[in-house]
A = this chain, B = another copy of it.
Amino acid sequence: MHRTRLYDAAQLEHIVAGMVRQAAGLLAGRTRVAIVGILRRGAPLADRVHAGLIRDHGLVDCVRLDLRIKRYADDLRLLHPDTQLTENPEHAAIDLEGHTVLVVDDVVYRGHSLLRAVQYLAGKRPAEIRTVLLVDRGVACLPLRTDIAGVRLEVAPRDIIECRVPPYEPHFQIDLLQPA
């Protein structure tokens, strides 16, 4: 694979600052707010959005949690993985009723993880659920709306957008990976 840097850390700080401003707009007037990261890379991104809203937009008392979602395939169904959400026992008791929930992830490819997260969260009776993505590739095959997109990068179907987000990677970057 050939790797090309599309965004470096300094450029992404600007992008995330814009996402935080948009999130502040969506949350205006809301008093019950939850910010939910999709593990793995959605979690540190949710942390960044959360920190920005507290620092610059007066957010207080925000529920902050992460969801673990996996595409799962056992031996018999290798070609047809199911999307599974592993509920954290602590989450079972979390009250999101009447909350505005921001679900944060790095990049949506087909949309299965995001759908699974929305479905789980909708069961907790929030007032509304909004999606926040660092990269929108424009290829989701499920009809989920991106409410806040850092950048839209409709690269060729066979190419890969790799978001590198600390602490999982050393530097905050968006890379394009292309088959050699």
A positions within 8 Å CB-CB of B: 2, 4-8, 11, 18, 21-22, 24-25, 28, 80, 103, 112, 115, 118-119, 122, 125-131, 138, 141-147, 151-157, 159, 176, 178
Main secondary structure of the interface of A (DSSP, over half): mixed
| Chain B: CB-nearest residue to A154 | B151
Cβ contact within 8 Å between B130 and A143:
yes
**Complex: chain B residue closest to A28, CB-CB:** B21
**Nearest CB of chain B from residue A138's CB, rounded to whole Å:** 6
CB distance from A27 to the nearest CB of B (A): 10
The CA-CA distance from A152 to B143 in the complex, in Å, is 18
Complex partner residue of A25 from B22, B145, B153, B156, CB under 8 angstroms: B22
